[in-house]
Amino acid sequence: MAKAVLQANLVAAKDVSTLNANFKYASGDIDNGNVFQKGDLSTAAGEEQTYIPTLPATDQFTDLWMAFSPEDVILSDAMGNDYKIGINDPRNFTNIAGTIFSGFKPQVGDIITLTADGISGDSNDYVIPANSTAKLAFAAAALDAGLSFKVLDTTYLSIPSGTWGSQRVTAYKLECVQI
């Protein structure tokens, strides 16, 4: 199953270090573009400044963070194998359960592009968190309170797959309109 690919087009976290953090989630894999609560600091040796995230609780979608580890540093497949640069398709990447990964706190005005694999449901005008899952979902409206993205455009990302055929993968350009 292909994993989401996240492109951070214009993101405040690129310029503000306090909007970036390290996380370690032991209960499952976290794909780039998934969202979660920051959680508590880890107390494990060697994990200073690493947080233990939790999935968004039912209808508690404020103060969420988004996974965003560089796919070109280390790629991990579903079998737990890690690879350095050279994997042809970044859709094979995921943040394997129990490994430290990077994330950022979205801000109003941030613009990202996320492949369709990172959003559940049928295409709509907004993308919001869903109950008890890290994956975003399409919605007809922004939340009254909580992380919400407006769909600016249905577009594509060119992703090399190492095979013949189209390298265009459906994606959505999103603007954060509420945190």
Question: Three-state SS string across 74-125, please?
Answer: CEECCCCCEECCCCCCHHHCCECCCCEEEEECCCCCCEEEEEHHHEECCCCC
Strand partners, 139: 126
Contact of 135 with 119, CB cutoff 8 Å: yes
Q: Which of 100, 93, 53, 61 is nearest to 77 (CA)?
A: 93
20-43 confidence digits (pLDDT tens):
999 999 999 999 999 999 999 999
pLDDT the model gives residue 69 = 83
Instruction: Spell out the domain ranges in the chain.
Output: 6-178
Residue 55 or 94, more confident: 55
Could you say which DSSP state residue 30 is in?
Answer: B
Percent of the chain whose pLDDT exceeds 70: 82
Contact of 107 with 70, CB cutoff 8 Å: no
Asked if the model's pLDDT at residue 178 lies above 80, the reply is yes
pLDDT band per the 50, 70, 90 thresholds, residue 132: confident
pLDDT band per the 50, 70, 90 thresholds, residue 161: low
Q: What are phi and psi of 120, to 5 degrees?
A: -95, 160
Contact of 170 with 154, CB cutoff 8 Å: yes
**pTM of this structure:** 0.86
pLDDT the model gives residue 163 = 62
CB burial of 20-39 (b: ≥16 within 10 Å; e: otherwise) equals: ebebbbeeebbbbbbbbbbb
pLDDT the model gives residue 153 = 97
**What CA–CA distances, in Å, run from 125 to 56, 88, 96, 139, 154?**
21, 32, 31, 6, 10
